[in-house]
Structure 1
């Protein structure tokens, strides 16, 4: 078990199961991954069923449809294990492996993904449970397929009618600020559009001052333009990801 609590105290208010139909956006850059945030959203949703530490309220409990274009099942199992959760494909978790199967990258494209996610969501909700759909790396479709920004936005919009959505995107400067190539233009458009729709935006980046031994990066917590953003506190924190998977989050100067 990591020495630090699974959910850093300064972030505990942001890891409750998000409201139905809401959008939570996690952004990252090449040198600062949002994986540690996403694994903790999994932990928060499943803790009542999976973890011995029931420090989060039971009403946080939710079922999860996890869709990843970037990471396989073993990655998520290992990340959850480090937090004390034995993650298994079950009646609580459905995993769609787009990396291994090419789902969404082959014939059928994003419509095939949408159909499978809706089927999984309907099945998980059959007992009245809350459902979170996690879309990890959906922006890969812009680079690897002919999927348009509009098609991705339509897909996310349709899925939001059935579940809360947590979505990860790359926010590297060349993709957002250069805007010379069609990919750069489309990627910037996607990130901005989803930011305007999101209730909460959590963005990780490297330090402006470069590498530090005891700081992995900076975490910006911001309100998006979507409903439910009112009252969410905006702030920037520093974080350190240890080798055992533990994460320490702290304010500047602490």
Structure 2
């Protein structure tokens, strides 16, 4: 594995697959996206570690559900940042992508709007033809000649009818077929934003994968499920939390990716001067709930002093509400020492990431 694609040493213990029935929470803001953390988590899921006791422990399938990013984004990010081929893993049933972006709100297209209406004939064109009446089969050559207009250019016989036969309606369907050909085999589309429909689609995807590989572990990654709060007429954090708990009961481990921008979390802080909207209150409540039931929380934010040439932001690793002292002591015996930390990170142009503590040199 090249240095560019490797996981930073400081984050290796945290970017391994969580323990059984646990959840990992990744949060980010607009200027500090946690997508590079997800690609390193995918690499650790498919790469055997030194602590792996048997091949069965590393036999895992990842189901990635993304509401804000499409398949092309994740495929390029995984190859560029972690050096893994998601298309090949999808053919092996080790990766399943659930697209919650492209088909959730389809745009209705009308064929009549694309068809140009026939242009009305000009006044000069109406006076050109001289109709023959039944009483006079011979054209009337007397009388004044009609005013002359532009005469269409003459061409060989059959050339004029060939112009309107251009296959214009087939052009919009060509990019669609090309887009479908780029989709992996294991791709499911969410076509309804309701929580009931989302659970039905995802539970069926999980059950179909378990039917093919009963002994394989399943790791579920949910990217920005808070979009479902925005599509609901009455957003409810408890309803979305119930959906996630139901999905967690069907898989082995879970990773959650949420937005923690100040406008989304301001409702969690008492402010008499600002009355939060129902969406703001639901989003803040949901993020706080998930932090309480997660084992570890990895948060990204920009530098407080602004942008820098060699620092992209700050990463903070904190224990979640589901952190257990007894389990952590057992993992430390196996060599997986984990502690809370705050470090700086730098995402390079080639996809490599360097993580270093404050006051130290930037190392990969």
The normalised TM-score by structure 1 is: 0.89
Which residue among 101, 108, 111 is the counterpart of 2:196?
111
Give the number of aligned pairs.
248
Greater percentage in helix: 1
| Conserved 8 A contact 1:218-1:238 | yes
Matching residue of 1:51 = none
1:75 aligns with 2:73: yes
Matching residue of 1:211 = 307
Please give the alpha-carbon distance, in whole angstroms, between the structure 2 residues aligned to 1:220 and 1:71: 24
* Within-5 A mapping of 1:51-66: 57=52, 59-66=57-64
**Superposed CA offset, 1:136-180 (max 9, x none):** 010111123335212210011111112211011110112112462
1:94 aligns with 2:96: yes
**Superposed CA offset, 1:200-239 (max 9, x none):** 1110001111101100000010111015476341111110
Please give the alpha-carbon distance, in whole angstroms, between the structure 2 residues aligned to 1:115 and 1:46: 27
Please give the alpha-carbon distance, in whole angstroms, between the structure 1 residues aligned to 2:304 and 2:50: 35
Matching residue of 1:168 = 257
| Conserved 8 A contact 2:17-2:44 | yes
Moved more, 136-145 or 223-232: 223-232
1:45 aligns with 2:49: no
1:251 aligns with 2:357: yes
In our comparison, the structure showing a higher alpha carbon Rg is 2
Please report how far the alpha carbon of residue 20 of structure 1 lies from its aligned counterpart in structure 2 after TM superposition: 2.4
Greater percentage in strand: 1
- Aligned-residue CA RMSD (Å): 2.1
Please give the alpha-carbon distance, in whole angstroms, between the structure 2 residues aligned to 1:212 and 1:61: 41
| Conserved 8 A contact 1:70-1:136 | yes
Q: Structure 1 residues 61 and 221 mapped into 2: Cα distance closer, same or farther (>3 Å)?
A: farther
Please report how far the alpha carbon of residue 116 of structure 1 lies from its aligned counterpart in structure 2 after TM superposition: 2.1
Which residue among 144, 158, 163 is the counterpart of 2:231?
144
Q: Which runs of 5+ in 1 are unaligned?
A: 49-53
1:155 aligns with 2:155: no
Please report how far the alpha carbon of residue 69 of structure 1 lies from its aligned counterpart in structure 2 after TM superposition: 0.1
Matching residue of 2:219 = 132
| Conserved 8 A contact 2:4-2:350 | no
| Conserved 8 A contact 1:203-1:219 | yes
| Conserved 8 A contact 2:296-2:323 | no
| Conserved 8 A contact 2:267-2:284 | no
Please report how far the alpha carbon of residue 56 of structure 1 lies from its aligned counterpart in structure 2 after TM superposition: 8.2
Q: Structure 1 residues 31 and 105 mapped into 2: Cα distance closer, same or farther (>3 Å)?
A: farther
1:238 aligns with 2:348: no
Please give the alpha-carbon distance, in whole angstroms, between the structure 2 residues aligned to 1:191 and 1:167: 10
| Conserved 8 A contact 2:5-2:351 | no
Which residue among 295, 309, 334 is the counterpart of 1:199?
295
Matching residue of 1:226 = 322
